[in-house]
Structure 1
Amino acid sequence: MTNFNTGRIDSASRIISAPPPAVYQAFLNPEALVSWLPPKGMKGRIETFDAREGGTYRMSLTYVEANRSTPGKTTEDTDTVQGTFLKLVENKQIVQRIEFESEDPAFAGAMIMTWTLRAVSKGTEVTIVCENVPEGIRQDDHEEGMRSTLANLATFLE
């Protein structure tokens, strides 16, 4: 897959009423991850999962809403990604390289997704920063999806 560097950065943040260790563990358990990661209107399936630095995973997110404006990136109703854990800092940070399985060059390249966990008085501030976002992903849709994922994480842990 060609690696186009778009230079675009999308981000979202939310305070989760849970301590950093609980948030961190929600990333490392595939059953937990697939229950909260899919944004509103999608459901997830994890096909492979190896949560260690250098480990990989493959996940498919399927749209469950019939009336939506954007098609899937891999098939009409599915986004499949291959992820690699680049860095795991216990209770503080998860850095992943994400590549979409797509024939469309607008989704080509590797996106770097950094999840930062910072202890705050009310729990954990979770910040997602996505670098080199493929041009085929609309920024408004992407940031809305990240906010939805953070809301799901809050529901899962609180």
Structure 2
Amino acid sequence: MTSPSTHHTTITSDPTVPLVRIVREFDAPAEKVFRAHTDPELVTRWLGPRGLEMRVEHYDCRTGGSYRYVQAENGEEYWFHGSFHEVRPSERIVQTFTFEGYPDAVALETLLLEDLGDGRTRLTTTSLVDSFEGRDAFVVSGMEVGVNEGYERLDELLAG
């Protein structure tokens, strides 16, 4: 049995640009949170909602690298891919993100890790898409469930 997280995830849509901002704190140092985002074996243990199986086709998390993975449930498969444009250890990741079900909707994502001291980290992620309609579809697609459950799973992984 898992214990509920004591941290709240904030998801906001920017009113002036088609951007979603996600802010979450973790009870782990930035190096550990960064590794959980860059090591494919760890990524498969927390990314996405509970109940989905994740398999990585490739995951080369370095500046100039790329990734492709699938999340599956009840015979349905959801493929995702992107490129890593900038990877700075324990500080920042800039990447593209594409759900292959909507291949023309590419998001530019920036993950910033902030050391809060006492072994705690704030993660701020922004996802910029090409239109307000695309952003709103992204938000109502169930993203909130996947983000919240994924971060709960990440809490469990970081505590282990």
TM range (shorter): 0.7 to 0.9
Does 1:44 pair with 2:54? yes
Q: Relative to 1, partners in 2 of residues 1:139 and 1:121: Cα closer, same or farther, differing over 3 Å? A: farther
Kept in 2: contact 1:13–1:147 (CA 8 A): no
Residue 140 of structure 1: how far off its partner (Å): 6.7
Q: 2:27 aligns with which of 7, 17, 23?
A: 17
Q: Secondary structure at 1:127's aligned position in 2?
A: strand
| Cα distance in 2, alignment partners of residues 140 and 42 from structure 1 | 16
| Cα distance in 1, alignment partners of residues 25 and 77 from structure 2 | 29
Aligned alpha-carbon RMSD (Å): 2.2
Q: 1:119 aligns with which of 96, 104, 115?
A: 115
* Structure 1 gap segments, 5+ residues each: 1-6, 65-75
| One-letter amino acid of the counterpart of residue 82, structure 2 | G
Alignment TM-score, normalising by the size of structure 2: 0.75
Q: Secondary structure at 1:137's aligned position in 2?
A: helix
Alignment TM-score, normalising by the size of structure 1: 0.76
Residue 79 of structure 1: how far off its partner (Å): 1.6
Aligned residue in 1 for 2:88: 89
Moved more, 13-22 or 141-150: 141-150
Aligned residue in 1 for 2:127: 130
Higher RCO (Cα < 8 Å, 6 or more apart)? 1
Kept in 2: contact 1:12–1:147 (CA 8 A): no
